[in-house]
Amino acid sequence: MNTERFWNLAAVLALITIVSSCSKPDMVIEENRYIEIMAHLTTTHLRFMDRPQSDSAQASVLKNFEITDDELLEFAEVHGGDLVMMDRIWEAIRLRVAVLENAPLPGSGQAMLRLDSLRKESLEP
């Protein structure tokens, strides 16, 4: 009787595992890729927000990353309930946007700050 009960319990656990794994879709986007794409979309929005090219600029970002807005929404739907994870992701996006916003635009002639020139060794006399 104990053996039969064990196998019944094992079967139930196997079914629960199968059902729970089927309920989550396979993630198309990895977290780091989502961060990079959202940072570029945000930067593009900030640069073009009051211009008629805004929509086409954002569509260009999606095309460059070979991704659809539905795939971005899927990531948000799957992970949106994990507040700790989403807070970490949005902080990473914010930091990446700051880096992108401070980078010179191609052809602008602005000098780029080289982070390796700020290493401790280069600052020592």
pLDDT, tens digit (0-9, with 9 covering 90-100), for 69-84: 899 999 999 998 999 9
Please, what's the b/e burial string for 74-86 (b: 16 or more CB within 10 A of its CB; e: otherwise)?
A: bbeeebeeeeeee
Question: What are the boundaries of each domain within the chain?
Answer: 26-104
Could you identify the residue written with the tokens 């999606």? 62
**Integer Cα distance of 66 and 39 in angstroms:** 15
Residue 48's pLDDT band, with cuts at 50, 70 and 90, is: confident
Pairwise pLDDT comparison (74 vs 21), residue with the higher score: 74
Q: Which residues contact 46 (CB under 8 A, 6 or more apart)?
A: 97, 101
Backbone φ and ψ for 113, nearest 5 degrees, come out as: -70, 125
pLDDT of residue 85: 93
